[in-house]
């Protein structure tokens, strides 16, 4: 195809997307018919006008029939009805099918005389009340059911069209990318001319790092698309499914503006579609059943997207019958998946995970639409392929919520690099809760045994412990006897556990590479990467590690209200404890800390009496109350400083800053405060029964939040 035809197909597909959204909205909001009908008419009229120029006669003939019907609707000769909306949706399917055929083969095909004639005849019949002039194009007043079947077949041919392969990018973003590429070329030329021995080489290296980071961020921004682009495809599907199943369902959206990488949007399209079909077919009850249960006749399907801990969470929630746990367990026992004794001891959360087993279903009858649970193993597998996870919650009589959690982007992810058994591994930071260092003097008593499992008591809660070298059967590499061990507290798929490793390396933003078939069979790794020092590292699959180690999901012993209250108290009273002055403990609110960075001393700059750091395109002021930088610079010029990057989220508009520390000690809840009698400001807190100074920049933030914690 030539460029003109490709552009026509892309724009026409976008126009048909708008047409579909407007049609489903028109049925529920007839008071806005003037605006919506105008949008629909323009979409069809544009296709008809351009096809005459390009010579696509079949497309022009069908678009002309639709334009005539829409003209009668726009002029008020026809009223909006469900039959009219259905006919226009089938017109949209027919136009989309022909466009897809042109894209695939370069031509319109030879099926126009029969299939298009049937659709044109239906449009003429719908238009007969206003103007029957378009009937001359029809070749047969075909039954509506037959036309509907053929139209849905045409729609199934569309697949991934031109619009799925193209992106619309803001010109400002392209200009920024071009400027950054220019900076990249300039810096490369200067480095090549100067050589590695030049005095300004470190400065050029920092500039190269800064430009590369900015370029990566800009490219990611260009690839980001709003989730609403995917959500917009579901109102039509829900409408058709509800009519087929004899149900009344409305769709509600929230978080449509949430951005997600284009490739990830395509990857989760099928899992999300399956979840929506399940919710309509076997989640939401028949109208008479809902009335008997005291529910509104119209069911509600909610699609919600939001950011959480560096990931995008998409929820599909219905207010239907829910999933009966006893039926799930009975079916699992019947199929021999679990024993009766095991089933009796399973929690609700564990029982719900059974629906992700291949072929598992609790549906009373299999329909041609879906079955609750059928194919859910494929849903989870497809989401896990892109580094995501799937969770499900359900309550009988209330409804079911399926939660898809996916990373923001596939290409580059922040990770913590660890070493165990002499090898390097990467832990995705989205699953990292906190880091714990256990000194050698406490190592023997720190880990306790409960039956055959090992646990660590973290803030009065028992945390399952997984030793990475034992899990992977690696040869132990022991360091100094005085050295304790590091434990990364991880959480995925409702499981929280501590992963014990030999050493922690600097966090990196890694480029994810696919695994070979041999490594995929192991089932513990989600990818591989090349680290900054040139060595290879495998990326651990946090959920798979938990499953292999036998870690069970966290039990919910308190009521929902108690859980919320306890969680709020822990979040409000949590501190990151560090040492800046010698032997003096200092703390700041945990929710203020974004990252812990190891910064080379040569990257720290001074201007007008201020200490500054160029960090990801931002100029951060550094706080160094303990004069740590002076000691480091006096000791070793090529050393590095530990800097806490503190953000402004929820902190009264304070700008981001960096806090220079000697070392990070712990993450702990506070228990009581001491105030200065003269100023009335808080200065001291008791954290783990030890006096701790609250960092001066965060005194006001902590004062209204911290209360006594039992």
Of 412, 564, 546, nearest to 490 (Cα)?
Answer: 546
Per-residue three-class SS string for 649-661 = CCCCCCCCEEEEE
Q: Mean pLDDT across the stretch 489-504?
A: 86
In this structure, are residues 498 and 436 in contact, taking their beta carbons and an 8 Å threshold? yes
Highest mean pLDDT among 398-407, 454-463, 642-651: 398-407
Give the C-alpha distances (Å, rounded to integers) separating 582 from 578, 631, 665, 668, 674.
11, 11, 13, 20, 21
Lowest-pLDDT range, 210-224, 319-333, 637-651? Answer: 637-651
Cβ neighbour number for residue 635 with a 10 Å cutoff: 9
Read off the tokens for 401: 């919520």
Average pLDDT, the chain: 78
Give the whole-angstrom CA distance, residue 275 versus residue 269.
10
Using one digit for the tens of pLDDT, what is the confidence trace for 510-542?
Answer: 887 777 767 777 878 878 888 878 888 998 888
pLDDT of residue 319: 93
Using one digit for the tens of pLDDT, what is the confidence trace for 208-251?
Answer: 888 888 888 888 788 888 888 889 888 888 988 888 888 899 99
pLDDT of residue 400: 92
pLDDT of residue 650: 43
Give the whole-angstrom CA distance, residue 268 versus residue 477.
41
Asked whether residue 136 carries a pLDDT value surpassing 80, the answer given is no
Task: Give the pLDDT band of residue 554 (cuts 50, 70, 90).
Answer: low
Give the whole-angstrom CA distance, residue 700 versus residue 451.
46
Task: Give the pLDDT band of residue 633 (cuts 50, 70, 90).
Answer: confident
The Cβ-side half-sphere exposure at 507, using a 13 Å CA radius, reads 21
Asked whether residue 134 carries a pLDDT value surpassing 80, the answer given is no
Using one digit for the tens of pLDDT, what is the confidence trace for 5-19?
Answer: 888 888 888 888 889
- Burial label for 559, CB within 10 Å (0-12, 13-18, 19+), is exposed
Using one digit for the tens of pLDDT, what is the confidence trace for 70-129?
Answer: 888 888 888 888 888 888 998 988 898 888 888 888 888 765 556 678 888 888 888 875
Q: Give Cβ neighbours of residue 58 (< 8 Å, ≥ 6 apart).
A: 98, 108, 109, 112, 116
Helix (H, G, I), strand (E, B) or coil at 523: coil
Q: Which residue has the higher pLDDT, 135 or 474?
A: 474
């Amino acid at each position: 195809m030539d460029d003109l035809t490709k552009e026509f197909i892309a724009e026409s597909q976008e126009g048909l997307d708008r047409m579909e959204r407007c049609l489903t909205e028109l049925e529920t909001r007839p008071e806005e018919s003037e605006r919506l009908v105008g949008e629909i008419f323009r979409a069809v009229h544009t296709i008809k006008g351009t096809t005459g120029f390009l010579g696509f006669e079949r497309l022009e003939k069908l678009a002309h029939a639709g334009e005539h019907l829409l003209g009668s609707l726009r002029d008020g000769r026809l009223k909006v009805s469900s039959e009219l909306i259905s006919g226009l949706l089938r017109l949209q399917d027919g136009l989309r099918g022909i466009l897809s055929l042109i894209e695939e083969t370069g031509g319109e095909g030879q099926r126009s005389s029969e299939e298009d004639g049937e659709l044109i005849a239906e449009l003429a019949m719908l238009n007969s009340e206003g103007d029957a002039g378009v009937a001359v194009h029809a070749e047969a007043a075909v039954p509506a059911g037959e036309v509907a079947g053929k139209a849905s077949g045409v729609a199934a041919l569309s697949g991934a069209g031109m619009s799925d392969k193209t992106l619309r990018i803001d010109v400002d973003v392209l200009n920024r990318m071009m400027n950054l590429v220019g900076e990249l070329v300039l810096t490369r030329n200067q480095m090549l001319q100067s050589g590695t021995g030049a005095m300004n080489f470190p400065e050029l290296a920092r500039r190269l790092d800064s430009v590369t980071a900015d370029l990566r961020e800009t490219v990611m921004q260009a690839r980001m698309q709003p989730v609403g682009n995917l959500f917009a495809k579901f109102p039509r599907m829900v409408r058709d499914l509800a009519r087929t199943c004899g149900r009344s369902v409305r769709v509600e959206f929230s978080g449509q503006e949430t951005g997600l990488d284009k490739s990830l949007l395509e990857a989760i399209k099928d899992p999300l579609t399956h979840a929506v079909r399940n919710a309509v077919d076997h989640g939401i009850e028949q109208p008479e059943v809902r009335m008997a249960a005291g529910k509104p006749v119209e069911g509600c399907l909610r699609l919600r997207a939001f950011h959480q801990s560096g990931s995008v969470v998409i929820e599909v929630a219905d207010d239907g019958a829910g999933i009966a746990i006893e039926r799930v367990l009975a079916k699992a026992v019947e199929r021999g998946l679990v024993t009766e004794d095991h089933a009796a001891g399973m929690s609700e959360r564990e029982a719900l995970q059974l629906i992700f087993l291949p072929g598992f279903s609790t549906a009373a009858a299999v329909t041609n639409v879906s079955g609750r649970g059928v194919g859910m193993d494929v849903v989870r597998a497809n989401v896990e392929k892109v580094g995501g996870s799937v969770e499900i919650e359900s309550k009988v009589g209330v409804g079911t919520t399926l939660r898809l959690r996916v990373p923001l982007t596939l290409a580059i992810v922040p990770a913590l690099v660890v070493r165990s058994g002499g090898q390097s591994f990467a832990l995705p930071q989205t699953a990292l809760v906190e880091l714990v260092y256990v000194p050698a003097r406490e190592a023997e008593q720190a880990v306790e045994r409960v039956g055959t499992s090992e646990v660590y008591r973290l803030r009065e809660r028992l945390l399952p412990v997984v030793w990475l070298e034992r899990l992977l059967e690696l040869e132990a590499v022991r360091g100094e006897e005085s050295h304790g061990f590091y434990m990364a507290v991880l959480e995925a798929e409702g499981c929280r556990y501590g992963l014990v490793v030999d050493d922690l390396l600097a966090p990196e933003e890694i480029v994810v590479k696919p695994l070979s078939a041999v490594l995929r069979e192991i089932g513990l790794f989600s990818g591989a990467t090349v680290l900054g020092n040139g060595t290879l590292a495998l990326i651990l699959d946090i959920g798979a590690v938990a499953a292999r180690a036998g870690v069970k999901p966290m039990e919910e012993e308190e009521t929902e209200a108690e859980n919320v209250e306890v969680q709020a108290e822990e979040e409000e009273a949590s501190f990151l404890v560090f040492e800046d002055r010698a032997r003096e403990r200092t703390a700041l609110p945990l929710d203020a800390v974004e990252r812990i960075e190891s910064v080379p001393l040569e990257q720290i700059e001074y201007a007008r009496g201020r200490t500054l750091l160029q960090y990801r395109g931002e100029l951060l002021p550094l706080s160094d109350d303990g004069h740590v930088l002076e000691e480091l610079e006096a000791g070793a010029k090529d050393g590095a400083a530990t800097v806490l990057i503190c953000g402004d989220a929820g902190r009264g508009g304070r700008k981001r800053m960096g806090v220079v520390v000697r070392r990070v000690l712990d993450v702990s809840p506070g228990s009581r405060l001491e105030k200065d009698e003269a100023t009335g400001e808080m200065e001291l807190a008791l954290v783990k029964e030890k006096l701790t100074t609250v960092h001066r920049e965060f005194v006001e933030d902590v004062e209204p939040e911290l209360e006594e914690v039992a």
